[in-house]
């Protein structure tokens, strides 16, 4: 026999030597939900192991994470006043702005702070933009998103991450940041984001479900792979620093294809539904949590993602799964 691939699978030493994909702590971004008030660490029912934190408790938890090497976080604001025009989203004293200021004050450059830029948690109707005549108005939404990104940059965010899927928002955010002296604030675009049922648990966590209709007039149709690539390449042209595919598990083909068509770093978002399905199945004893989590993480890396945004990040690093 000329080919015996099993030779290189004989023991762990040789398997490790020929492993094509490696993971490192540096690849992980851990998401947080931050809310008003004090001393709040409220478990989110739909996402076992994830909490709503007030800023004081957030700081404590981030400190714990930093000790084990989680040095990149993604912040979502929860529980702000909801209005038609999402004015609380770009308030200089929004919960996210406050959290960023306090985190950067406390941890400085030890901690890299990324903020989610989208208005669905700040609008009465829960859509990711400004709703008029029952349609999410693209250009008016872009104006608000640019203001929100600027408010986060002014608070000290290292990177902003628009997740709304309006057309032209990356360019508008880039221009607004540059005009105001934030040319070094980076943009990680949720560049290929699908209209997905996998966001279910998150919408409970962020209280951001659309009160009527769905997000299909702005998020992408999951039947489309060519358009998926086009969406990301448009954002590259608009000045995005990092491109992202979201969700991750059902879209490994999209990650791979993007990898072959851009020179920018690629992130993937292992979203709430993907996370909670694993947690619940593990709790039921149907799967081994560590093994299934790591199999998923290697799949993202193998597909071509260099940055993995995941609620599993803390377990992976704290429990020594790497
Ligand atoms: C807001 C936003 C969503 C997620 C990240 N930013 C929800 C949505 O678009 O409905 C999903 C994250 C997750 O499911 O973990 N636009
Ligand atoms: Zn949104």
Let me know: does 198 contact 270? Beta carbons within 8 Å: no
In-domain check, residue 9: no
267 bridge partner residues: 244, 307
| Residue 165 CA, closest ligand 1 atom number | 16
Out of 50, 166, 202, give the residue to mutate to test ligand 1, the one with the largest number of ligand atoms within 8 Å of its CB. Answer: 202
Q: Is 140 assigned a catalytic role? A: no
CA distance 26 to 28: 6
Out of 31, 144, 163, give the residue to mutate to test ligand 1, the one with the largest number of ligand atoms within 8 Å of its CB. Answer: 163
Q: Is 25 assigned a catalytic role? A: no
Q: 């931050």: which residue's tokens? A: 34
Structure tokens at 44: 């989110």
In-domain check, residue 11: no
φ, ψ for residue 117, nearest 5 deg: -115, 105
Q: Which residues contact 280 (CB under 8 A, 6 or more apart)?
A: 48
Let me know: does 289 contact 282? Beta carbons within 8 Å: yes
For the chain, what is the mean pLDDT?
97
In-domain check, residue 40: yes
Q: The domain spanning residue 28 has which CATH number?
A: 3.20.20.70
Does the pTM surpass 0.95? The reply is: yes
In-domain check, residue 226: yes
Res. 146 pLDDT band, cuts 50 70 90: very high
Let me know: does 188 contact 175? Beta carbons within 8 Å: no
For residue 75, the ligand closest to its alpha carbon is 1
In-domain check, residue 10: no
For residue 114, the ligand closest to its alpha carbon is 1
| Residue 202 CA, closest ligand 1 atom number | 14
Tell me the HSE value of 43 on the side-chain side, using a 13 A CA sphere: 5
Could you say which of 82, 104, 246, 279 is catalytic? 246
In-domain check, residue 18: no
Q: How far is the CA of 106 from the centre of ligand 2 (A)?
A: 29
In-domain check, residue 88: yes
Res. 311 pLDDT band, cuts 50 70 90: very high
DSSP one-letter code for 265: -
Share of the chain above pLDDT 90, in %: 99
Q: Is the peptide bond before 167 cis (omega within 30 degrees of 0)?
A: no
Task: List ligand 1's pocket residues with C-beta within 6 A.
Answer: 116, 118, 120, 128, 163-164, 199, 202-203, 208, 271-272
- Count structural domains, the chain: 1
Structure tokens at 106: 């406390």
Residue bearing the CA closest to ligand 1, atom 14? 199
In-domain check, residue 14: no
Q: Which domain holds residue 167?
A: 23-318
**pLDDT, tens digit, 9 for 90 and up, residues 245-282:** 999 999 999 999 999 999 999 999 999 999 999 999 99
Let me know: does 308 contact 267? Beta carbons within 8 Å: yes
> Residue 226: is it exposed, middle or buried by C-beta count within 10 angstroms (0-12/13-18/19+)?
exposed
**pLDDT, tens digit, 9 for 90 and up, residues 207-245:** 999 998 999 999 999 999 999 999 999 999 999 999 999
């Amino acid at each position: 026999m000329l080919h015996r691939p099993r030779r290189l699978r004989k023991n762990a030493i040789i398997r490790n030597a020929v492993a094509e994909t490696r993971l490192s702590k540096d690849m992980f971004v851990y998401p947080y939900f931050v809310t008003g008030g004090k001393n709040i660490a409220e478990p989110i029912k739909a996402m076992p192991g994830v909490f709503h934190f007030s800023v004081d408790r957030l700081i404590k938890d981030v400190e714990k994470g930093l000790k084990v090497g989680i040095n990149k976080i993604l912040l979502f604001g929860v529980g702000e006043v909801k209005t038609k025009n999402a004015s609380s989203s770009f308030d200089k004293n929004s919960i996210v702005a406050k959290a960023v200021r306090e985190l950067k004050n406390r941890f400085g450059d030890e901690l890299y702070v990324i903020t989610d830029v989208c208005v669905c948690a700040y609008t009465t109707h829960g859509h990711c933009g400004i709703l008029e005549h029952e349609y999410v108005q693209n250009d008016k939404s872009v104006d608000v998103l640019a203001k929100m990104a600027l408010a986060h940059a002014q608070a000290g965010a290292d990177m902003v991450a628009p997740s709304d899927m309006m057309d032209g928002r990356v360019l508008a955010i880039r221009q607004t940041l540059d005009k105001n002296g934030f040319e070094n604030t980076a943009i990680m675009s949720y560049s290929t984001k699908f209209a997905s049922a996998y966001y279910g648990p998150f919408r409970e966590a962020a209280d951001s479900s659309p009160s009527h209709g769905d997000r299909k007039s702005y998020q992408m149709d999951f039947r489309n792979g060519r358009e998926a690539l086009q969406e990301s390449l448009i954002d590259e042209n608009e000045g995005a620093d990092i491109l992202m595919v979201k969700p991750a598990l059902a879209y490994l083909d999209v990650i791979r294809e993007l990898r072959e068509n851009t020179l920018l770093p690629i992130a993937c978002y292992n979203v709430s539904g993907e996370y909670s399905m694993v947690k619940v199945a593990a709790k039921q004893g149907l799967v081994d949590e560590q093994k299934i989590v790591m199999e998923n993480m290697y799949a993202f890396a193998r597909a071509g993602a260099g940055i993995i945004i995941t609620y599993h990040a803390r377990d992976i690093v704290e429990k020594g799964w790497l």
